Amino acid sequence: MASILFRVLNFVWLKEFIELAYWKITRITNKKLSNAHYKEFYTRYFSLSEDFYDDKRILDIGCGPRGSLEWANTAKERIGIDPLAHQYLKMGAKDHRMTYVSGYLEKLPFADHYFDVICSFNSIDHVDDLMTCCNEIKRTLKEDGLFLLIVDVHSVPTVTEPQTIDWNFISHYFPEFEVVDEKRLERLVRYKIYGNVRAGKAIDGNPEVGVLTAKLKKRRA
């Protein structure tokens, strides 16, 4: 048992080491970690206006260090959760107009029915226990709340993306949610998920790779 635990912890350490190294290199290369591109995906892409977020609590899962929710000035709370959040604060995130929380999606440090909107953009395939994570989203999202999803579909796990995601992800993990909108898009360029979403090229057939986007609504009990 001890050896299994050691391997698991070592794997998590390696995954987080690679992800932190990516952001540090990106920061050096770009000189500044910009965030202006996020707003369109929280609003226009999912047919939501900016004032939709007035007085709402928003959670960004796997938020990264860019300040993904800085645009949401009228929100009641705008929180990003990420295992590396404490490291992001050292990289300049402490100056962002949002709250960073260090933690894992498998055990969200929030009360039941706390958030009006939960978002996972390019993050849910990075987790270690997918079913537990989806249950945590359901637990902390209010009735009639929205779950916004952008994720790569892929059948081969990697160190940083250990979860394989297929086109049936929504029906398998969120069958009780209302599907307000769902798009299945081609992956035209690898590692450019937002560019692929902007391109918006619908899939032809059932390829092993692509991008899945969805707006889901939590039904009332």
Tell me the domain boundaries of the chain: 35-218
Q: Is residue 23 within 8 Å of 16, Cβ to Cβ?
A: no
- Predicted TM-score (pTM) of the model is 0.93
Task: Name 202's bridge partners.
Answer: 185
151 conformational bin, left if phi > 0, alpha if psi -120 to 50, beta if neither: beta
Tell me which amino acid residue 128 is: D
Distance CA 183, CA 205 (A): 13
CATH number of 35-218: 3.40.50.150
Q: What is the pLDDT of residues 98-116, one digit of tens each?
A: 999 999 999 999 999 999 9
Q: Is residue 166 within 8 Å of 153, Cβ to Cβ?
A: yes
Q: What is the pLDDT of residues 2-57, one digit of tens each?
A: 333 334 445 688 889 899 998 999 988 988 899 999 999 999 999 999 999 999 99
Distance CA 199, CA 186 (A): 9
DSSP 76-130: SEEEEEETTHHHHHHTTGGGSSSEEEE--GGG-SS-TT-EEEEEEES-GGG-S-H
Q: Is residue 48 within 8 Å of 42, Cβ to Cβ?
A: yes
Q: Is residue 79 within 8 Å of 46, Cβ to Cβ?
A: no
From the number of C-beta atoms within 10 Å of its C-beta (0-12, 13-18, 19+), residue 206 rates as exposed
| Span between the terminal Cα atoms of the chain, in Å | 40
Instruction: Return the percentage of the chain with pLDDT > 70, whole number.
Output: 95
The two tokens of residue 90 are 């050292």
